[in-house]
Each structure stands twice: as structure tokens, then as C-alpha cells.
């Protein structure tokens, strides 16, 4: 009897002391519920249809997919109550009944056998610092649980537990575990699956169902029986769980659109757990396939890199982005070339004309002068070093002539043009106008494929600029006018119409192919090949080159990048049913002189219809054509008249025919050794030395000449020097290019 009294006194003393200390401690050590709300979550990136592109590992390399209580099924809630804390919804954070029982058990056995843990104390344990397991930590956890219950409701605490409990391997939280072990969301778990899963946190590594199926099954049975005893399930429901609970074969974590996801992670804050993005996985697969397919062949031509971007025109959403042909390539696969600064070649020209058309500096049929020019030390030339005299804006843009573009750029003024490029989203043009000079019109600058494709999307949108975006958003799109709808349409009409890229690149008789407005570019020295195209739905950008900037004679936009662009449009629109542009209402047609594109006088020899923007496009009457007595004479401005006279041309007939890319044959750089068609006899047998032939070129500009054998780079020489190359059997093409992009090639045979 005395012993029992003694126990009661101790117990009462303990309870009173506990309550008093709790009150004091609560003031001394207030509980901050904010500190436990952050999960060690993985980040999940979704595509625009809700499919998972990537799951990143959370801190400590755990996989955790936080989920709300509404997102787990009933079975999960019932199973966790049975497994851990059946009076969870009744007790205040600590369970007095369990404590009394535990104290009784511990006293009678003389050691700690029962923990009297509740879900609340487990949450405190999972969120707090690691502590030694003893009676004192038990007390701290109980104390913190009581405090936590005062601030968070029961549902919140249960959610915390479900998202923090360990489930074996590196799985944290019920959702990540349900997906791994059963291939489904916790919402859809069956009763037996939920019972198996919620048994694991007690001893996650010992009970892992994939490693220790028997132990997991025994634990599952225990929990099912408890659920039945507590009236959480009926007898029939218990009977229904007698069979096996099959596991799913654990699927690997998804890893799609790697460069795009890298970009999304970079742009999303550290606290963002889930990103709903704009990526269209079907489009992404198309472009990944197209870029990867001929990668080996391009490799033989000395091209190791490539990138493709697709932007949805109405919204500015990035729908596909590939930054290299193979992300897992150990050398530079992870470099995202879609975001790399590269020289744009001729791809900025449409914007120069767009600006000129919008400001009334020209119309699409206005005559520009393609004649020799020079400003101080700057003497630009066309790629084929020919001058064509008078050309229309349409011809100048489609033939990508340098002189007219530079002349127009100077008329606009380089600082104004630079501001315009930047307002079109080319954010990497960050040097001063003086630094770039007029060369910015023909590619002396650096842009990224992503920015450039977005600038083209702006033309496709009728001149309205929107920043590109990678996150799905219901925000109202607020664009800003870069150029008028009319000017944007005129550029599009040139790039899509007769003589446009589209009409030159594919079988012209195939009526089932999709149309698009397109432009190619080749940077100085053959380092970048570009092709950009658009219709009202998508803007597509293709870049080929080497991440380290190595040149290749095959890096010519029209030859290597444009075919990929064409194929992308063909794959997006297999029946050729691509949407078409509509002529804006503000654009009118008028009769013009066929040669000057201006309203005709009665002496003009031929007339046709042409677009103009009323009040903007130059509308002075043609003054070139006049009758002098009985014969027709042309009065060109003096600088053009001189040029025509030098060329022996007094009259220029209307030409709509475009000239082919003459790049390869017109360059002045000339290989002097070996000679084209030369054949060499290779002597075999013992005692023969390596047989070398001399590689030597004349002409060219810049400092170095790069040499290629069958498209593979073999080295470089300084201008005026030479090198030797060991001959190989068969037909061989030897090519060289200088830093300004001049090139020459010869074929030799070796027997």
C-alpha cells in the first residue's frame, strides 16, 4: 500500500511540475510554426500538358513530392492513424493514455520499451535537429508538440507527417513513395497498398517492400488488423486484402528536354517546388530527333554543335528548345547553345528593312543601290563580291545583299538601329554603337538563338513584341509595338513570297509542303549557320556550329541549317496545312513603275501593282524615266549613274530572278597547291617514308587560313605560309577558308 501511495505522490508531483515547467518554457522558448513548413522538396518541372519533364533531388538527395491532405486517398489517412497514432484527432499533441501506459510499462520493466509517440511528436522529431534518444528528448518533443498543436490544426500536422516520413531508399513523403513502389499517386492507392506503404516509416530500410517483401508484408498485416480493430475498415474490406500486393517495376525518373529544364531551374526561385512550363513534348521530340539524326554526318563535316528553338507566336511561349545534339556528350553536350552568344550573320537584315519600311525610308519595291562604297577604312562587300547596281528591297533582302543593308542601316543611324534591335529582345547586343559600327547590319555583334527566334516571332505576330516565356501563366499578355502590322507584313511577304527561302529550299512542285517566311545567315569565317522561319503559329530557329567557335566550310546557313528548318515545318504540318498570314487592313495596293517601285509617270516603260503603307511609304512620282525628244532616257542619281556607265549598262531590265548562292565559287582565296584534279601515286612497301603533299594558298584576308580534308579540320597556316599533309588513298577534297569567310576547294586523287 505504501508503495502505491508513493507512486501516486510521485505521479502527481510529476504532473504538476510538468504543467508548471511547460508554462515557463513556453514563454522562454516560443514555438515558430513557420520554421517547420518548408519541405526538403524535390523540384518538379511539368510540360504544358502536365506531364513530368524532370524531378530534381531535394536537399540531401531525397526524392520528395509534397502533397496536400486533399491529394491523398482515404486509405492513406486511415492507415497512418492505425500505424502511428489512433487517437491523433482526440489528443492535444501528446497522448495522455499512451503516456500513462508507457510510464507504467517502463516502470515495471525498468527500461524504456514504449515511446508513446504521436504523429505530432513524430513531426517535431522529423523537422527538428537530430537528438540523442533519451527521456529528455522525449520530453522536448512532447513539449514542442503541445506548442505546435496550439498553432497548427490537425490536418496541417498530418500533412506535415505524410510529406516528411521516410519510406526507404531516398524516398521522403507518401507521394514520392507511392509513385516509386506502385507507380501511382497516393490518391489512388488501394487499401492493401496504403497499409503496406504506411507501415514503412517505422523502420524504412528494414521494411522496404522491394528488398524485404516478407517483413513488409508482416507489417502490412499488423496494420490491416489494427485498422479492422479500430473500426476503420469492415470485415469484408479486411478479407479483400488477403492476396499479394504487387509492386510496380520502379520507373526511372523522367529526364526530358534537359537544356530547357536547366533554363527553367535557373529562372525559377529556390523556393519554387513545381514549375508548370510551356514546353510541348511532342514538338520537343520532333526537334530533338531532327537535330540528333544527322549529328554523325555533320561531325564528319567538322560541325559538332547545334540548337533549335520553337516559340509559339500568339503567346511567346517556348514550346521546344534543344541546346545540343546530345546532352550527355561528355565534351560539350551540356552547353546550351540556344542561349550562347553567337555572331548572327545576315539574320538581322529583316529587322533593318522592317524599321526602314515602318519609318518610310523605303517601300518593298523601292530601289536600293548595290554599288561599291567605302567609309574611311570600312569597305563592305557582298558575299560574292559582285555589285548589282539598282535592286529592289525585296531582291536585296532575299539575296541577302550586304551593301544595301549597310546603306539603309547608316540612313537609320547605327545608335537608333541598335536601340531597335535591343527593343526586339536582342539583349546580348550590349556594346556601344561606336563599337559595332555599320557592320552590325551584317552580323558584327552577338545574339542568342533564343532571343533571335523570339524577335522573329515578333515579326510573325504582326510587329508586336512579347518577351518569350518558359512558365505557363494565365496573365494577360501585354505586348508592345515594335513595328506596325503593315511593315511586319511587308517583311513577311518578302521572306515568304517569290524568291523567299521557302521557295528555294525544297521541291517547288510539291504542293503539300508547308509555307513559311524564312531567312538564313552565315557568320564571318564560317563559324555559325543560321536558319529562322515563321508562320502565324510558330517561329522556329536553327543554329549549327561548334561550341568552341571552330569554323567549318560546311557552316553555311542555306546549305546546312535551312534543310533542318524546312524539315521541322514539314514534320509539324505533314499535310502542308500551315496557317497563312492575312494582309493587314492598313496595307493598300497601288500602281507603280516596274523598275523604281514608285508611282509611275506617263513615260515609265512598264507598270505593275505593289503594296504601300498610305502616308508612310515613299510616294513621290518616278523621275527616272523620261523622254528626251524621241528616245527614253533614265535619270539615275549620279553615284548610280556612274556605276551603270562603268558597267556599260544604261538601261536595266526588270529582273525578278534571284541569284543562287555563289559563295563557294566566287571567293578570291585560291589554293595554289595541290592543283584541282591533280593525282598522286602512293608508293607502298618497306622503307618508304610518310608521303606528304604541300598545302599552299594565295589571296584571302585576315590572319589565318584554316585547312580541311574531306570536311575535317587538319590545321591552319598564317597567310603566306604553307603546311604539309600526309596523303591518304582515294578521292580527297581539300578546302581552306580564311577568317573573313573566303574559301576555295580542290579535289585530288591518290592511287
Contacts with Zn ion, residue ranges (CB under 5 A): 593, 596, 604, 622, 625
Strand 44-46 to 52-55 pairing:
antiparallel
The CA distances from residue 380 to 229, 402, 417, 445, 644, in Å, are: 90, 7, 18, 16, 19
Strand order across the 692-698 sheet: 670-673, 692-698, 722-726
Shortest Cβ 622–Zn ion spacing (Å): 3
Which C-beta is closer to Zn ion: that of 580 or that of 635? 635
> Which letter does DSSP use for residue 77 in this model?
H
Place of cell 498530418: 158
Place of cell 539598282: 390
Which C-beta is closer to Zn ion: that of 477 or that of 606? 606
Which C-beta is closer to Zn ion: that of 181 or that of 636? 636
Shortest Cβ 353–Zn ion spacing (Å): 22
Shortest Cβ 601–Zn ion spacing (Å): 6
Which C-beta is closer to Zn ion: that of 559 or that of 634? 634
- State whether the Cα torsion 168-174-176-180 is positive or negative: positive
Of 122, 121, 116, 124, which Cα lies nearest the Cα of 96?
116
Which C-beta is closer to Zn ion: that of 570 or that of 652? 652
Shortest Cβ 603–Zn ion spacing (Å): 7
Query: What is the number of other CB atoms lying within 10 angstroms of the CB of residue 456?
Result: 27
Residues whose CB falls within 8 Å of the CB of residue 586, separated by 6 or more in sequence, listed in order = 484, 485, 486, 613, 614
Which C-beta is closer to Zn ion: that of 250 or that of 621? 621
Shortest Cβ 275–Zn ion spacing (Å): 59
Residue pair 624/635 in contact (Cβ under 8 Å)? The answer is yes
Query: What is the number of other CB atoms lying within 10 angstroms of the CB of residue 147?
Result: 21
Residue pair 583/612 in contact (Cβ under 8 Å)? The answer is no
Which C-beta is closer to Zn ion: that of 258 or that of 599? 599
Shortest Cβ 635–Zn ion spacing (Å): 10
Cell of 192: 492493401
To 10 degrees, what angle do helices 74-84 and 213-229 make?
A: 90
Shortest Cβ 610–Zn ion spacing (Å): 12
**Separation of first and last alpha carbons in the chain:** 116
Which C-beta is closer to Zn ion: that of 470 or that of 604? 604
* Alpha carbon distance 10, 523 (integer Å): 89
**Using CB atoms, what's the residue nearest to Zn ion?**
593
Which C-beta is closer to Zn ion: that of 83 or that of 595? 595
Shortest Cβ 596–Zn ion spacing (Å): 5
Which C-beta is closer to Zn ion: that of 258 or that of 600? 600
* Alpha carbon distance 354, 365 (integer Å): 13
Shortest Cβ 510–Zn ion spacing (Å): 37
548-551-552-558 Cα dihedral, nearest 10 degrees: 100
Shortest Cβ 595–Zn ion spacing (Å): 5
In DSSP notation, 682-695 reads ---STTPPPPEEEE
**If 0-12 CB within 10 Å is exposed, 13-18 middle and 19+ buried, where does residue 307 land?**
buried
Amino acid at each position: 500500500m505504501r508503495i502505491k501511495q508513493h507512486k501516486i505522490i510521485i505521479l502527481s508531483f510529476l504532473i504538476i511540475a510538468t504543467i508548471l515547467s511547460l508554462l515557463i518554457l513556453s514563454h522562454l522558448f516560443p514555438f515558430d510554426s513557420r520554421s517547420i513548413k518548408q519541405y526538403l522538396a524535390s523540384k518538379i518541372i511539368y510540360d504544358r500538358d502536365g506531364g513530368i519533364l524532370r524531378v530534381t533531388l531535394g536537399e540531401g538527395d531525397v526524392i520528395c513530392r509534397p502533397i496536400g491532405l486533399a491529394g491523398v486517398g482515404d486509405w492513406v489517412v486511415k492507415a497512418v492513424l492505425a500505424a502511428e497514432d489512433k487517437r491523433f484527432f482526440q489528443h492535444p499533441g501528446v497522448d495522455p493514455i499512451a503516456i500513462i501506459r508507457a510510464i507504467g510499462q517502463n516502470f515495471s520493466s525498468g527500461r524504456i520499451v514504449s515511446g508513446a509517440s504521436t504523429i505530432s511528436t513524430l513531426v517535431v522529431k522529423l523537422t527538428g535537429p537530430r537528438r540523442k534518444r533519451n527521456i529528455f528528448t522525449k520530453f522536448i518533443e512532447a513539449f514542442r508538440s503541445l506548442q505546435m498543436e496550439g498553432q497548427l490544426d490537425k490536418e496541417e500536422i498530418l500533412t506535415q507527417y505524410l510529406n516528411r516520413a521516410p519510406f526507404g531508399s531516398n524516398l521522403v513523403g507518401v507521394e514520392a513513395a507511392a509513385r516509386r513502389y506502385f507507380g501511382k499517386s497516393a490518391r489512388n492507392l488501394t487499401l492493401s497498398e496504403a497499409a503496406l506503404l504506411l507501415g514503412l516509416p517505422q523502420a524504412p530500410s528494414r521494411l522496404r517492400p522491394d528488398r524485404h517483401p516478407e517483413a513488409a508484408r508482416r507489417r502490412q498485416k499488423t496494420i490491416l488488423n489494427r485498422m479492422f480493430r479500430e473500426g476503420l475498415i469492415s470485415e469484408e474490406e479486411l478479407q479483400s486484402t488477403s492476396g499479394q500486393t504487387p509492386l510496380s517495376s520502379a520507373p526511372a525518373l523522367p529526364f526530358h528536354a534537359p537544356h530547357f529544364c536547366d533554363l527553367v531551374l535557373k529562372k525559377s526561385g529556390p523556393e519554387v517546388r513545381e514549375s508548370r512550363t510551356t514546353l510541348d513534348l511532342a514538338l520537343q521530340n520532333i526537334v530533338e530527333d531532327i537535330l540528333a539524326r544527322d549529328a554523325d554526318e555533320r561531325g564528319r563535316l567538322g560541325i559538332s554543335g547545334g540548337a533549335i528553338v520553337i516559340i509559339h507566336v500568339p503567346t511567346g511561349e517556348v514550346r521546344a528548345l534543344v541546346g545540343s545534339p546530345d546532352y550527355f556528350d561528355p565534351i560539350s553536350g551540356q552547353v546550351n547553345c540556344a542561349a550562347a552568344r553567337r555572331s548572327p550573320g545576315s539574320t538581322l537584315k529583316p529587322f533593318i528593312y522592317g524599321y526602314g519600311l515602318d519609318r518610310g525610308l523605303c517601300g518593298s519595291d523601292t530601289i536600293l543601290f548595290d554599288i561599291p562604297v567605302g567609309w574611311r577604312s570600312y569597305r563592305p562587300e557582298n558575299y560574292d563580291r559582285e555589285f548589282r547596281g539598282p535592286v529592289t528591297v525585296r531582291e536585296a533582302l532575299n539575296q541577302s545583299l550586304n551593301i544595301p543593308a549597310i546603306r539603309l542601316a547608316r540612313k537609320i543611324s547605327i545608335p537608333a538601329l541598335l536601340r531597335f534591335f535591343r527593343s526586339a529582345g536582342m539583349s546580348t547586343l550590349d556594346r556601344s554603337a561606336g563599337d559595332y559600327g555599320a557592320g552590325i547590319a551584317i552580323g558584327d555583334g552577338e545574339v542568342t538563338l533564343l532571343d533571335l527566334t523570339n524577335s522573329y516571332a515578333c515579326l510573325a505576330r504582326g510587329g508586336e513584341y512579347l518577351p518569350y516565356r518558359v512558365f505557363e501563366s494565365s496573365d494577360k499578355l501585354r505586348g508592345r509595338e515594335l513595328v506596325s502590322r503593315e511593315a511586319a507584313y511587308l517583311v513577311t511577304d518578302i521572306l515568304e513570297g517569290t524568291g523567299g527561302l521557302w521557295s528555294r529550299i525544297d521541291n517547288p512542285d510539291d504542293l503539300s509542303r508547308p509555307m513559311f517566311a524564312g531567312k538564313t545567315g552565315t557568320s564571318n569565317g564560317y563559324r555559325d549557320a543560321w536558319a529562322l522561319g515563321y508562320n502565324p503559329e510558330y517561329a522556329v530557329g536553327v543554329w549549327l556550329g561548334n561550341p568552341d567557335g571552330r569554323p567549318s566550310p560546311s557552316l553555311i546557313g542555306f546549305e546546312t541549317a535551312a534543310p533542318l528548318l524546312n524539315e521541322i515545318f514539314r514534320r509539324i504540318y505533314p499535310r502542308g496545312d500551315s496557317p497563312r498570314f492575312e494582309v493587314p487592313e492598313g496595307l493598300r495596293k497601288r500602281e507603280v513603275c516596274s523598275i523604281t517601285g514608285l508611282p509611275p509617270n506617263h513615260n515609265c516603260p512598264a507598270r505593275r501593282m505593289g503594296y504601300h503603307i498610305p502616308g508612310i511609304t515613299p510616294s513621290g512620282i518616278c523621275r527616272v524615266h523620261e523622254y528626251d525628244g524621241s528616245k527614253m532616257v533614265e535619270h539615275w542619281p549620279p553615284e548610280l549613274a556612274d556605276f551603270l556607265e562603268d558597267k556599260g549598262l544604261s538601261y536595266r531590265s526588270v529582273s525578278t530572278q534571284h541569284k543562287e548562292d555563289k559563295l563557294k565559287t566566287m571567293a578570291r582565296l585560291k589554293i595554289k597547291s595541290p592543283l584541282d584534279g591533280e593525282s598522286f601515286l602512293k608508293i607502298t612497301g618497306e622503307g618508304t617514308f610518310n608521303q606528304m603533299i604541300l598545302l599552299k594558298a594565295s589571296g584571302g584576308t585576315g590572319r589565318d587560313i584554316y585547312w580541311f580534308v574531306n570536311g575535317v579540320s587538319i590545321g591552319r597556316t598564317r597567310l603566306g605560309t604553307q603546311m604539309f599533309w600526309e596523303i591518304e588513298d582515294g578521292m580527297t577534297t581539300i578546302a581552306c577558308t580564311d577568317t573573313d569567310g573566303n574559301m576555295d576547294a580542290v579535289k585530288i586523287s591518290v592511287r
